[in-house]
Structure 1
């Protein structure tokens, strides 16, 4: 962030003329440079960890958007609870947040065959993701040996 404030663009007269998306791009430049530096790290840093790190960074970037959405959802749930329990409102199924949360909370797979099927699918995709990331690492290693 220290580099951002020292740039010549940060002058009052010029800054007032820049649009909101332009300011957003201006402030996102250090973050994007950091992500590029992470993805261009040398070989011992595996691709899977780069993906996890990037997802974590995106979560923290989107946190200012996610937090108000969570607060609005919580207030809507309180409004729905009070409306249903005390005022006898009936919410339509598409707007029934408490019913959806209850169904999600008490969801369980009763058929053991389906449970095995879901477990096998999860294991399959975990192995595929690990294989793809390892392939990328090995390809980078081979290219480093050829061109390095």
Structure 2
């Protein structure tokens, strides 16, 4: 702890004058360097796994924001449930969290043509993403052969 405060940026007077965004940049530098190191890994590490790793890392970075939002949503749903069941309060459609969640949970596409269309679109984008990531890997392999 004593060694940390002796560093130039961590001197108390200087650190007190640093803005919020400056502190964020200071603390995010190791994470961004780690992300760049992952993306600059050698060839056997595929691009698709790098994308999955980056999404997982971003999820863990956003957890401090997502957790309070989820807690607030759960407490609002409990408030809405108690209000509807015990006090006969009718919530407007925009604020009806329980009704929207149940509608989303029981959503079902009945037209077979729409289901086929959706599955075809999902397959199409899955193939496009796989092709792009494979093309990036093959380009990196070709460039590494050319320049080595």
- TMscore range, shorter length: over 0.9
The separation in 2 between residues aligned to 1:43 and 1:5, in whole angstroms, is 40
Cα distance, 1:20 vs. partner? 1.2
What CA distance in whole angstroms lies between the structure 2 residues aligned with 1:119 and 1:89?
A: 41
Aligned residue number for residue 37 of structure 1: 37
The whole-number CA distance in structure 2 between the counterparts of 1:113 and 1:26 is 53
Asked if residue 99 in structure 1 is aligned to residue 99 in structure 2, the reply is yes
Pair 1:75–1:31, CA change in 2 (3 A): same
Structure 1 residue 15, shift from structure 2 partner? 1.1
| TM-score, with length taken from structure 2 | 0.92
Q: Give the CA RMSD over aligned residues.
A: 1.5
Alignment of 1:50-89 (within 5 A): 50-89=50-89
Which residue is 2:15 aligned to? Answer: 15
TM-score normalised over the length of structure 1: 0.92
CA positional deviation for 1:7: 4.8
Alpha-carbon contact 2:84-2:90 (below 8 Å) kept: yes
| Structure 1 gap segments, 5+ residues each | none
- Structure 2: 5+ residue runs without aligned partners? none
Question: What displacement does 1:140 show?
Answer: 0.8
How far off its partner does 1:22 sit? 0.7
Question: 1: distance between equivalents of 2:22 and 2:11?
Answer: 14
**Superposition deviation, residue 113 in structure 1:** 2.1
CA distance in 2, matches of 1:122, 1:90: 38
CA–CA distance in structure 2, aligned partners of residues 25 and 115 of structure 1: 46
